[in-house]
Amino acid sequence: MSACVQAWTGMPQSAFLILFVLTLVSSIWMHVTVHRTMRDHSPGLRGRIEEPEDSVGAVAASPRR
């Protein structure tokens, strides 16, 4: 596959181009899948995945037990 892309583009870095495109497509697919799953199966958790800024500092400042 990389030999075909190299012949088509004339760039010796075609393997890296293939890896970049594959990674980009996979990341977008994962993003869409996670958002769709959160919307369909657990709408109550949708806004609670990341903690607000205020609570992050409070958790970090609390003493460990």
Stretch 50-59: mean pLDDT: 57
Our measurement of the distance from residue 32's CA atom to the centroid of its chain's CA atoms, rounded to an integer in Å, reads: 9
Token digits of residue 54: 């205020």
Average confidence score pLDDT of the chain: 78
Please report how the helices 14-41 and 2-9 are oriented relative to each other, as an axis angle in degrees rounded to 10: 110
Dist. CA 56–CA 42, nearest whole Å? 23
The three-class DSSP label of residue 62 is coil
Summarised one tens digit per residue, pLDDT across range 12-39 is 888 888 899 999 999 999 999 988 988 8
